[in-house]
A and B are shown apart, each in its own frame.
Chain A
Amino acid sequence: MVYDSAQLATPAIEEARSILRYRALVLQFVRRDLVARYKRSILGVTWTMLNPLATMIILSVVFSQIFKTDHTFPVYIMAGLVAWGFFSQTTSDSMYNLIGGVSLLQRIYMPPTVFAVSAIGNGLINLLISLIPLSLVMLVLGVPIHLSILFLPVSILALAMFSLGVGLLVSTLAVYFRDVTALYQVVLTAWMYLTPIIYPENLLNPRFRFWVSALNPMWPIVHLFRVPLYEGRLPSLAEIWPALAVGLAVLILGWVVFTLRSKEFPYRI
């Protein structure tokens, strides 16, 4: 195997090959973050479950009171929060992991997308774990769990593709500008309120809703995640394709932008 700086393939393709070769590193990073986060706590990994559970219960109780809909509304909120939590956590982690890892990147070769990809891996574990309290709440509130739940992997795929794409885009920016991490938290807050997570979709007036749902890519993605859980039915094609299409498009965009820029990262910071 000869490394030749003059004969590298397109960065995006080179990086995809490289991350496949380094899959052991992705697993080790996921493991490290999971273990290191909870190692010195009494309840350990249970926090992964308790933390979102507590947040979800508080928000669900508060907002079900505010919107006074039927008794199943907490499930609506929880399903939305699981999807949103995955998105906000993985995209933020991509940034922090990359910034924290640049010193490593300057010393030893590794595919720089490893930070974003392992953030997604970590998010997937958290998401699967938080499905446990979600189904418990469904049982308690008497929301039947339908077979449509088997559709969930497709919803998660759309969510994960979109999150990875956004994570790569924001972490590219964060390498150049330190305040992007802070700025992004503000963006996330605004973005969450523009997505029907804690309020019912039909709360917005129809004209406003039309525009927001058309322009906010998280809208169809969260919707696709919620339908098989909360509504207990298979999503229609018209509900499926926008989520998958926007997820794939943003993933490709993020991957290409990130890999075109990543050669410069070791020169930065």
Chain B
Amino acid sequence: MHLTGLRPGEVIRLENVSVRYRIPHERIGTFKEYAIRWMQRKVHYESFLALKAVSLSVDSGEVFGLIGRNGAGKSTLLKLVARVLPPTEGRVLVRGQVAPLLEIGAGFHADLTGRENVFLNGSLLGFSYRQMVEKFERIVDFAELWEFIDAPLRTYSSGMIARLGFAVATDTQPDVLIVDEVLGVGDEAFQKKCAERIASFREQGTTILLVSHDMDTVMKMCTRAAHLERGVIRYIGNVQEAVESYRREQTAASGEAEKAIQGTSST
């Protein structure tokens, strides 16, 4: 079978991608239990499709929004693009360096100083020591943390940690930036700085994948969006339409919930 690569300008492509999680029927956590179950031939698995034959293509410079309720498959999709998760079926293509904005504190160590954490975090993003030396000053400048850079991270406030994390992840312009609900970083002035940096990346061709439950953010920032529902793309394209599709699903769902509550109360 001949596989075609990405066409020029295309940065992310998913072809018929399915992700299946295999969950043991009863959660088996220990070797002892497993050995007993295995002897009794009682190891059953239930498979759960987090994504079902999803196809999409994102071009350079797009801000692509992913919306959907919890468990719709948004995070799974981000993990595929970040190459953290391999697809069970189908094919994932991504061009260039992917920088995920990690949640506050992920990959940081509380006992190390800010300086040490910058180097640790940079190497997690795949940068060499030399590259980090070169980037260090710019990172601390941006995070505005010179005063505290040699203090252990456990003395930092959560806002300061988030600033440091954002500064490390976005120092060099990545080809793909993954933003998973973490834009509420620091105070208002710093949030503005982050938004400006993201905007300048976009102008220079960085593709941004954004997951958010805040529809205002999605409508303000995204150029295109997809609405995911139970692992299937319900709608892809115009942001306004995607948000409406999502809202319809929500009203339908809350309607069902209401009916269920009325049903139980009437009996």
Q: Give residues in A with beta carbon < 8 Å to B.
A: 1-7, 21-22, 24-25, 27-29, 31-32, 35-36, 39-40, 103-110, 173, 176-180, 183, 263, 266-267
Query: Would you call A36 and B5 a contact (CB within 8 A)?
Result: no
Query: Would you call A5 and B91 a contact (CB within 8 A)?
Result: yes
Tell me, in angstroms, the Cα distance from A107 to B124 when the chains sit together: 11
Tell me, in angstroms, the Cα distance from A267 to B96 when the chains sit together: 25
Query: Would you call B123 and A28 a contact (CB within 8 A)?
Result: yes
Query: Would you call B29 and A28 a contact (CB within 8 A)?
Result: no
Tell me, in angstroms, the Cα distance from A104 to B103 when the chains sit together: 10
Tell me, in angstroms, the Cα distance from A28 to B119 when the chains sit together: 7
**Quick check: which of B79-87, B191-199, B241-249 contacts chain A, the rest being far away?**
B79-87
Q: Give residues in B with beta carbon < 8 Å to A.
A: 3, 5-6, 21-22, 29-32, 34, 79-80, 82-87, 90-98, 100, 102-103, 106-107, 109, 111-112, 116, 119-120, 123-129, 132, 152
Give chain B nearest CB distance to A164 CB in angstroms.
Answer: 20
Query: Would you call B112 and A7 a contact (CB within 8 A)?
Result: no
Query: Would you call B92 and A109 a contact (CB within 8 A)?
Result: no
Query: Would you call A109 and B29 a contact (CB within 8 A)?
Result: no
Query: Would you call B112 and A36 a contact (CB within 8 A)?
Result: yes
Query: Would you call B123 and A108 a contact (CB within 8 A)?
Result: no
List 9 A-B pairs, minimum CB-CB distance, nearest first. A177-B31, A179-B30, A25-B123, A5-B92, A28-B123, A6-B91, A24-B123, A109-B83, A3-B94
Seed contacts A25-B124, A28-B120, A109-B82; 7 additional CB < 8 Å A-B pairs: A4-B3, A22-B123, A25-B123, A32-B109, A107-B102, A177-B31, A178-B29
Query: Would you call A3 and B93 a contact (CB within 8 A)?
Result: yes
Query: Would you call A4 and B126 a contact (CB within 8 A)?
Result: no
Query: Would you call A108 and B125 a contact (CB within 8 A)?
Result: yes
In the complex, what residue of chain A is closest to B93 when comparing beta carbons? Answer: A4
B97 contacts across to A, CB distance below 8 A: 1
Query: Would you call B86 and A263 a contact (CB within 8 A)?
Result: yes
- 15 A-B residue pairings within 8 Å (CB atoms): A2-B5, A2-B94, A3-B93, A3-B95, A4-B91, A25-B126, A27-B123, A28-B119, A28-B124, A31-B116, A35-B116, A177-B34, A179-B29, A180-B31, A266-B84
A179 contacts across to B, CB distance below 8 A: 29-32
Give chain B nearest CB distance to A20 CB in angstroms.
Answer: 12
Tell me, in angstroms, the Cα distance from A88 to B185 when the chains sit together: 43
Among candidates A25, A36, A103, A110, residue contacting B111 with C-beta atoms closer than 8 Å: A36
B31 contacts across to A, CB distance below 8 A: 173, 176-177, 179-180, 183
A3 contacts across to B, CB distance below 8 A: 83, 92-95, 98
Max chain B C-beta neighbours (<10 A), residue from A21, A179, A267: A267
In the complex, what residue of chain B is closest to A179 when comparing beta carbons? Answer: B30
Q: Given A5-B92, A179-B30: A267 and B21 within 8 A (CB)?
A: yes
A108 contacts across to B, CB distance below 8 A: 82, 84, 100, 102, 106-107, 124-125
Tell me, in angstroms, the Cα distance from A178 to B34 when the chains sit together: 11
A110 contacts across to B, CB distance below 8 A: 124, 126
Tell me, in angstroms, the Cα distance from A35 to B116 when the chains sit together: 10
B102 contacts across to A, CB distance below 8 A: 107-108
Tell me, in angstroms, the Cα distance from A183 to B93 when the chains sit together: 41
B152 contacts across to A, CB distance below 8 A: 39
Query: Would you call B107 and A104 a contact (CB within 8 A)?
Result: yes
Tell me, in angstroms, the Cα distance from A11 to B176 when the chains sit together: 25
B30 contacts across to A, CB distance below 8 A: 177-179
A104 contacts across to B, CB distance below 8 A: 106-107, 124
